[in-house]
């Protein structure tokens, strides 16, 4: 009957007996309490909207759901419980709503199922797929430290080192009635209450570890969080990382840099302006560009977690805050096991060597500006248009990729153009007419 209704574009006569059978089957399906026990009841697209994995991966993940010890016996995980848990992470739905769509008897039953699945996955699945116990340093270097990053950051490329990108992320939480928690969870920078985990990510996007969560007050900045992980050494981080291994971090870790270097870790961090310094030197600017060229990897993984698992992009309910670190580690383990690594197009040893060579090139424009004192020289300024620089070269996409050493900046070009168009009434580019020299122009905004 259904295929006939779907494929014939004309009035369809349903006989009484056929209609009775159809309605009976529809009633049976609506009343089927076991529907969510079988993932095959969903189409592939339906299943993808419910969980962050496909059906085959779901079946394998279910084999990791060991029984959970409790007082007086054990609690077991059903496929329905696992589906509910994954739907909770994927869509961030409330327990009350999950009770309705998964036919649980009460909201408390949903909370109990989610807690049981969390404890079950933390027993075997998480330790096998994320954390310093899940992979040896040697396997990490062989499988996840790319040739590109090794050539770009390792001063001795023939002696491979562990390279890790570290950055913090955050999840919003409600205001607490406990005044101490209220103070410690308030982030001045964001102007909201939140807690912060930190990701340790490999050059190919593999999540080595997720640390925390931590409060977000001034005592728990990124540097303090990393130092605390070393001092507590719960995950044997001291033993795992060795002398001359490399951390790629942002400026938020500046307070931890001297301490990390004392224990033998090489830290790559964008340069900081010193007191009285108006801009970075050529060497500092180029070194910073080499770092930011790949540091987006850890930010991309932070984004992947919140896009794949909407649970983390919403305000976390109070009952889940205490176990938020477990939820993050389960999400990270799912990404590591079931999702592909991050591939940087064209990133190879030759590109790394070209970038290092380019970073040592003398900036001839700056040399000319300083030699002729152009920075303080008066000019005759006129609004810039395309007719004033007819010999300006037309840049191809291939040439732009060579200049930017990649595609990331090229992808951002439409956004920059849109921003420029929106500001046309407030700002304008001006050209100095006093400088008339082929291949050299002076402009200002």
**Contact predicate 172/202, CB 8 Å:** no
Angstrom distance (rounded) from CA 321 to CA 114: 14
CA separation, residue 62 to residues 34, 211, 288, 398 (Å): 17, 25, 45, 47
For the CA atoms of 103, 109, 110, 113, the dihedral, rounded to the nearest 10 degrees, stands at: -110
Q: What pLDDT, on a 0 to 100 scale, did the predictor assign at position 278? A: 78
Angstrom distance (rounded) from CA 208 to CA 12: 59
pTM score: 0.82
Collect the ranges in the chain with pLDDT lower than 50.
Answer: 1, 7-8
Q: List alpha helices for 233-317, DSSP H.
A: 237-240, 257-262, 282-308
Q: 318 Cβ partners below 8 Å, 6+ apart?
A: 173, 174
Angstrom distance (rounded) from CA 309 to CA 87: 9
Helix (H) or strand (E) holding 122: helix 107-123
Between strands 246-248 and 266-268, the pairing is: parallel
Burial of 344 (0-12, 13-18, 19+ CB in 10 A): buried
Q: What pLDDT, on a 0 to 100 scale, did the predictor assign at position 119? A: 94
**Contact predicate 442/435, CB 8 Å:** yes
- Buried b / exposed e over 228-263, threshold 16 CB at 10 Å, is ebeeeeebebeebbeeebbbbbbebbbebbeebeee
Q: What pLDDT, on a 0 to 100 scale, did the predictor assign at position 127? A: 94
Angstrom distance (rounded) from CA 293 to CA 408: 9
**Cβ atoms within 10 A of the Cβ of 105, count?**
8
Q: What pLDDT, on a 0 to 100 scale, did the predictor assign at position 405? A: 65
What is the set of domains in the chain, with CATH numbers? 16-122 (no CATH), 133-272+280-354 (3.30.420.10), 362-444 (no CATH)
Q: What pLDDT, on a 0 to 100 scale, did the predictor assign at position 3? A: 54
If we measure between CA atoms, which residue out of 187, 61, 191, 76 comes closest to residue 126? 61
Q: What pLDDT, on a 0 to 100 scale, did the predictor assign at position 61? A: 94
If we measure between CA atoms, which residue out of 427, 430, 429, 438 comes closest to residue 379? 430
3-state secondary structure of 348: coil
What are the tens digits of pLDDT across the range 282-333?
888 888 888 888 888 888 898 899 999 999 999 988 888 899 999 999 999 9
Place of tokens 């930010």: 299
């Amino acid at each position: 009957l259904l295929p006939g209704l779907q494929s014939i574009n004309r009035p369809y006569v349903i006989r009484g007996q056929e209609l009775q059978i159809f309605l009976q089957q529809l009633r049976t399906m609506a009343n089927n309490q076991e529907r969510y026990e079988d993932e095959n009841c969903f189409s592939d697209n339906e299943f993808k909207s419910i969980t962050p994995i496909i059906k085959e991966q779901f079946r394998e993940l279910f084999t990791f759901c060991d029984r959970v010890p409790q007082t007086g016996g054990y609690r077991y995980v059903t496929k329905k419980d696992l589906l509910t848990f994954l739907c909770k992470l994927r869509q961030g739905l409330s327990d009350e709503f999950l009770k309705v769509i998964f036919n649980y008897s009460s909201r408390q039953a949903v909370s109990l199922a989610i807690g049981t699945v969390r404890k079950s996955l933390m027993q075997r699945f998480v330790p096998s797929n994320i954390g310093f116990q899940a992979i040896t340093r040697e396997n990490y270097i062989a499988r996840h430290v790319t040739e590109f990053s090794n050539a770009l950051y390792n001063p001795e490329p023939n002696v491979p080192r562990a390279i890790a990108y570290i950055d913090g992320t955050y999840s919003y939480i409600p205001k607490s009635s406990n005044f101490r928690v209220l103070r410690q969870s308030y982030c001045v920078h964001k102007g909201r209450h939140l807690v912060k985990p930190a990701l340790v990510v490999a050059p190919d996007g593999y999540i080595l570890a997720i640390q925390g969560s931590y409060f977000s007050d001034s005592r728990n900045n990124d540097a303090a969080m990393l130092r605390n992980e070393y001092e507590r050494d719960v995950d044997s981080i001291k033993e795992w990382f060795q002398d001359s291994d490399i951390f790629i971090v942002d400026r938020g870790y500046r307070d931890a840099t001297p301490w990390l270097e004392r224990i033998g870790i090489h830290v790559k961090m964008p340069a900081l302006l010193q007191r009285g310094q108006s801009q970075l030197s050529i060497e500092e600017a180029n070194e910073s560009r080499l770092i930011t060229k790949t540091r987006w990897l850890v930010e991309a993984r932070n984004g992947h977690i919140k896009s794949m698992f909407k649970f983390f992009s919403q305000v976390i309910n109070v009952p889940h805050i205490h176990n938020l670190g477990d939820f993050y580690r389960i999400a990270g383990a799912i990404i590591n096991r079931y999702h592909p690594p991050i591939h940087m197009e064209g990133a190879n040893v030759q590109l790394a060597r070209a970038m290092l060579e380019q970073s040592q090139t003398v900036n001839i424009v700056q040399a000319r500006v300083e030699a002729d004192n152009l920075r303080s020289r008066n000019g005759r300024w006129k609004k810039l248009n395309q007719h004033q620089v007819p010999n300006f070269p037309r840049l191809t996409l291939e040439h732009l990729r060579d200049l930017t050493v990649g595609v990331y900046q090229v992808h951002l070009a439409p956004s920059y153009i849109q921003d420029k168009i929106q500001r046309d009434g407030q700002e304008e580019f001006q050209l100095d007419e006093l400088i008339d020299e082929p291949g050299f122009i002076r402009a200002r905004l």
